[in-house]
Amino acid sequence: MPLDYDVFYSSDAVSNGLIPFCNIGMHPLDIAAKVIEVPQAYQSQLYRSAMQLPIVNDALRSLERIQVLDVGCGTGAGLHVIHKTLENFCRGHLSIVGIDKCQIAIKHSKKFHSKHKVLHYDVEKRMSAFSRDKFDLVVGIQSLQECSAASLDELQRIMKPHALLVMADFVCPQQTFDFLNIISTHPNFKLVFQKDASYHATLAAKAGSPGLRNVLNECVNDKQLQKIMADMLILKKTKIYEDLRLGNIQFGFFCFEYVPTTTTDEDKNVENEHERWESDQSCSDDDDDDIDDSANPSYYDYKEIYPQLELLRSNYTTIQKEALKAQLSHDWPNWPEDHYIGEDGEWRVFPLCYTFPAWDASKTTWVSGTCVQCPNTVALLKQIPGIRTALFSKLGPQTTLGAHRGWADLANDILRCHVGLDVPQFDANIPEATDEEASCCIVVSGESRAQANGRVFVFDDSKIHYAFNHHPSKSRCILILDLYRPDHLPRGMARGGHTDELDDFIEQYNAAMNC
């Protein structure tokens, strides 16, 4: 019978928090083989055992920042176990996120395990909130073995070179998908560890079955549903349990190292996209070159156009403190249109509000999950009339954004404002360097302006522009605002609406932060 996760996660047993996991479990080696009071402890032990593998310890312990993704995380209970286990030996900052393709599981994650973010994604499709080369460790606890080869393209995109993929799963003959066989024969993945754990998995299933059956008997009245859930939990006397006990199938741990040796079709597309951006201002047949906006100013004096921005300039240290605090307490997502940043760049954002289309003020949406972390900043922003967009933006060291125009349904009706919050300088003794000396600049139509703490710029986002941070080790953090363009000024001339990547990002991020 095919696994129906919607049915499983809709059950009262899961909805009431009595079954936080959906796996066979693992009996720990250091306690006697007996039934313990909490059967879910065996299921959490499966996560713990995977994270305690020596190869995981060796790979992560010296990293300063560790990005972890749990694929098929369900309600997210395993994210807490991953965090608690890794923090015992990892010195670096841990950032752990989960994905699941079951929307009901995502809903439960907000209720029971809200500390770590769980996003609604299928690993076989594009996960637009994650940039390339993001994760140091990808975890698949009884999830990836059900995936097809299509998931490998996305895993290669989001994993850093030499990142680890750790799986705990069954090896079953004649199953529909055999991801372990697919990945084992892929040239970019190297099997670096495997261990048969069939005995301890069987022991855990046997020991945990009485308690889990009691939960099913008390919470699930439908006998057919009881059977489906028992099969999914691999309880004693189910077919998979008996096959495992008799040795017809195996259960084990597997660890693969991502060692990219070939270029994927997507990599080629990205390279082509980079080339297109780099030639934006020189290719005569590019669509943007048909736009003659030279008569429109690139920059505006904020004191003349938006005098209300003085409120933000005079309070920039208050905003700065909340932005820096937000960086420590929350893992900012990457800007989804990653062709802007190149292979080694970093561009992260912390959205506060957005409006699409910009001419319709009724479409302005404040992201409550981020706004609550920056109450003083939001209070200041809400005093600014005509606001359409607000976000913190962090540009990593040695990052240059590709030249681009804003989207027509935003940029043509707004002017963009930058307020410097944490802008590094090559020489700390020169806090406000000239355009030639500055490590961080905004460049609009070839005209550059040096950024600095507390410095406010207003420019036309519909014109060709880009930004850079040339500092070798420090990130640049600014506040970005879009304000409705005054009626007496010319409209922008950008073409094309915002991209599908941005739409997906907004939907996923808003759902994650507001639920």
Whether 414 and 358 have beta carbons less than 8 Å apart is answered as yes
Instruction: Specify the DSSP class assigned to residue 163.
Output: E
Tell me the pLDDT of the chain averaged across its residues.
83
Quote the percentage of the chain above a pLDDT of 70.
Answer: 82
Q: Give pLDDT, residue 514.
A: 47
**What does the pLDDT look like over 5-20, one tens digit per residue?**
888 888 888 888 888 8
> Per-residue confidence at 1, pLDDT binned at 50, 70, 90?
very low
> Per-residue confidence at 288, pLDDT binned at 50, 70, 90?
very low
Whether 103 and 30 have beta carbons less than 8 Å apart is answered as no
Taking the model in full, what pTM does it have?
0.56
Model confidence at 211: pLDDT above 80: yes
**What does the pLDDT look like over 234-257, one tens digit per residue?**
999 999 999 999 989 999 999 999
Whether 218 and 11 have beta carbons less than 8 Å apart is answered as no
Model confidence at 447: pLDDT above 80: yes
- Structural domains present in the chain: 5-258 (3.40.50.150), 281-514 (2.60.120.330)
Residue 486 to residue 472: CA distance in whole angstroms: 39
Residue 89 to residue 109: CA distance in whole angstroms: 26
> Per-residue confidence at 35, pLDDT binned at 50, 70, 90?
very low
Whether 200 and 26 have beta carbons less than 8 Å apart is answered as yes
User: Which token pair is 329?
Assistant: 């307490």
Q: Give pLDDT, residue 270.
A: 43
> Per-residue confidence at 406, pLDDT binned at 50, 70, 90?
confident
**What does the pLDDT look like over 94-148, one tens digit per residue?**
889 899 988 888 888 878 876 777 888 889 887 766 767 889 999 999 999 888 8
Q: Which of 127, 160, 485, 477 is nearest to 296 (CA)?
A: 485
> Per-residue confidence at 266, pLDDT binned at 50, 70, 90?
very low
Residue of 337 and 460 predicted with greater confidence: 460
> Per-residue confidence at 289, pLDDT binned at 50, 70, 90?
very low
What DSSP string runs through 413-474?
Answer: TEEEEEEEEE---SSTT-SS--TTT-SEEEEETTEEEE--TT-EEEE-TTS-EEEEE--SS-
**What does the pLDDT look like over 304-314, one tens digit per residue?**
999 999 999 99
**What does the pLDDT look like over 52-74, one tens digit per residue?**
999 999 999 989 889 999 999 99
Q: Give pLDDT, residue 409.
A: 78
Q: Can you tell me the mean pLDDT for 433-456? A: 86
Q: Which of 305-309, 366-370, 390-394 has the lowest mean pLDDT?
A: 366-370
Model confidence at 177: pLDDT above 90: no
Pairing of strands 159-171, 387-395: unpaired
Encoded amino acid at 88, one letter: N
- The SS3 assignment for 26 reads coil
